[in-house]
Structure 1
Amino acid sequence: MNASAMKINSLSFKIIIRILFFTILLGGVIFTTYYLFTRGQIEKAARDKAFYLAENTKQKIEEIIRPAELIPQNLAWMMESGAIPKDSIYSFLEKLVRQNPIIYASAIAFEPDAYAPGVKAYAPYAYRAGENIESTDLWSSSYNYFIWDWYQIPALLKEPYWSEPYYDEGGGAALMSTYSVPFYVQRNGERLFGGIITIDISLEWLTDIMNSVKIFDKGYSFLISRFGVYVAHPEHKYIMNHTIFTRAKELDMPDLRDIGRDMIHGVSDLKSTTLEELGRVSIYHTQLSSTKWSLGVVYPHREMYAGLYSMNLIIILLSLGGLGILLFFTIRIIQRLLSPLTLFAGSAREVASGNFQAKLPAVQGSLEMKELHDSFAYMQKALADYVVDLKETTTAKEKIESELRIAKEIQMGMIPHIFPPFPDLPEIDLYASLLSAKEVGGDLYDFFLLDEKTLCFAIGDVSGKGIPASLFMAVTRTLLRSVANRSLAANEIVSAVNKTLSLNNESNMFVTFFLGILDIQSGELSYCNAGHNPPVLIRAAGEQRFFNLTKAIPLGLFDSHGYVCERIQLERGDRIFLYTDGVTEAEDSDNKLFGDDSLLLAIREHPQASPRELIDYVNNAVAKHVNGNVQSDDLTMMCISYYGNHKQ
């Protein structure tokens, strides 16, 4: 399929991509499963082989060391039982060395007074000197054997001890190790420490045993002492010159250091690390029970997984070839099946341009294509009908929106919106704002003078929203204006409005309402509340608190409910902040309310603000709280500042 065809038939491209994706995904799952399973089998086989090689090598070493250990152990028993005459010790040691080729030298080092009373140091020593066996006393002023590890450590531990390997210059610079066994003597019926019996054995045979371990081409085995010193290694430069820890430090390899720690602590395990000369390797290690030295077997990953890598390459090449063949046939089949879609695309463009009578291509054969043809025909008719309906709906919607705009203008025109409202009355300053949640709302506020020294103000919140609430609000505001006069108390005005609203209130709507009447000269405020939120009293002296209101039901529910008139005295500089529940119940995206505490906090943060400034501050605090969340209720606020009678 050429590039232009692929561009036209984007569905073809998507189908091909999906087929390839799921084919590759399935192949990847199968390949990964095969790879992990095979790798696991290889690792298990390597672990088993490493265990076998290590244990077999360990057994070969132990078969040489164990019999050698028995020689000084038996000699210790003979010394304790008195089977060796004291004057025959030299000849006995010479014979022992001569008859045991593995032994380079042997000594019996006595504790002071153990050989004989008054003899403080005596250490008969027989050793190989070329083809001959010679003997001497180790004790001299230049060689105090009591301070050497081969004497001190087994004496303190009271058990046999293998020394760290060392090069013996007198033995042809051969690698040696000393096995020390404490022995005891009977004196005055007591069993007392008598000294140390040693044998020095050459470790040259270790090289032959370690070299016999064959692990692929480049794998090898090595042996370290109980302190990590290399005793046997294919690289002779490491033997007795490096420890496994110095190599780990040189190569900056913490995992090799951890392997070394496990080895000297006697742990048997298979772990992976990286070696400079071999790359990634696995090391199986175990400890010799006799000497406490540790044996390691190194498996190079490149060789261990060589067969797996070769097989993986073959599988990948075969998969790529198969994928290419699959892609070729998939493109050909999809091109043949979906070619009619090009014709339908042309018809769809004509329909989209407004020609709902565009001719559709004829199809044959494929049931799916026939269904597509019928669906296109149905779409043509449905679109034509929809356009007709849309025109009618749009016209009706525009008419409703126009009527709502007019209703909003009428509603906003009913409430006072000129500020300051009473420029000739310096005793008071007043500001109010109303922000509807919809085009029209149910909140209201109003204020007017009953006479030249009396201000009447009110705020309310109608149940519900939209046009019904706005109509109920208009009726309430009209009733207030018609009922209120100087001769009536606040509760009488509220009761009169309630009685009228309750008549024939089949919609069961109601309005929370707060009415205040302020004597501008004296500062006396009489007020009546009908289920509305308590206003905030802001004293000039610094106090801010909610009004203590007598509980009462909203207007419009029961015509006979009695409302209470309450009074409070305002001082010069006092303010009253009124609001609807849309302020305190404003919600953020987590449905957390703005609340009374946040309202008081916003007011307290601006103690000297004018009414307009204070309402702006509260509006900003609410907006910050909701943080762009959709407004769910009308926001209405009114603030009145009382400055006292300036005419006096």
Structure 2
Amino acid sequence: MLFTNFNIAFEPFRFENSYEYFAPYYFKKDGGINFTYIGGENYKYFSWDWYRIPKEKKSPQWTEPFFDKDAGDIIMSTYSAPFYKETKGKKEFLGVVTADISLSGLTEILASLKITPTGFAFLIFKNGTFIFHPQVNFIMNETIFTLAKKLDDSSLKNIGIQMVNGNIDALTNTSLIPGQKSWVFFHPITTNGWSMSVVIPENDVFADMHGITNRVTLISTIGLVFLLICVIWISRSITKPIRVLSNVTDEIAVGNLDVPIPAIKTSDEIGRLVDSYIHMRDNMKKYIEEVIHLTADKERMESELNFAAQVQQGFLPQEHPKYLNYEFGAVTVPAKFVGGNFYDLIPLQNGHLGLALGDFSGKGVSQLFTWRNS
């Protein structure tokens, strides 16, 4: 429990005319609830701040932490609220009800906060005195300003000024955690004017980020290696048939049209390229066979025509007769190997000479013999 002590303190002679001090006080000690009355010549409670200030301001108030020897024998802060008696519409002040908060309980709560592995929290009064700090010797004995002076740290002094003024901010500091740059976040507690701060080393702030970065880097590296393996495998699967086709092309280039082309049963560009190679090879073989046949037919025809030309020249007169001192000459120049024009000189009676001319359409040996037999 945070609230450990409770008290109802009456104004002098308001509880009974015979009681100047009447303040029943309940407090927790040694694991149980204890009861006592406070007040007397050695402890005039109505002069203490926890009683006087709420009475004067007529509103609930928080006192600065104090060490109460007469009651709970602990460091505490008191929440005090005035109470009244209403008579004929008029309020009459009777006393103050208080509840004490134990700083030991608050210390346990703040100490249990695990902000970061090396971060911590601290709490200060309005005047900068430490209510809580991980170094317990600071509590109630040191202020943030005296600590800043000892450390010769102007940034810590500025943080203290900001905190006691009730500001909200986040500033950097290098002395609260020696040797490390830290972020100091602070926020006021508006109900009592205290201020709480959280100190987080910059290394802790970025520790998770560094861890995430390392994990992302590792995952990225693994992914990159896997991607590289996939790229190499895919590249080889693509280039292997291309290398095979390159070898096939070299064989075809030197005239080996019987070189086997591996069949690749895929529907991608490589598969279509292989099909095109097979189709090209088969067409080339077909065209070469046709050229061979055409060449053979042409050679056979030329042979026949040469023979026909020789026969034709043999049919033509080799010597021309002489008549009446005339000399005759003739020449035939076929447009192709064998012409369609023929002639002959035929001696006749009475010194006459006959000239025979023939013209046959078509060329070849058959036309030649047709003319010869005419």
Larger radius of gyration: 2
Give me the TM-score of the superposition, normalised by structure 1: 0.30
Give me the TM-score of the superposition, normalised by structure 2: 0.50
**More helix by percentage:** 1
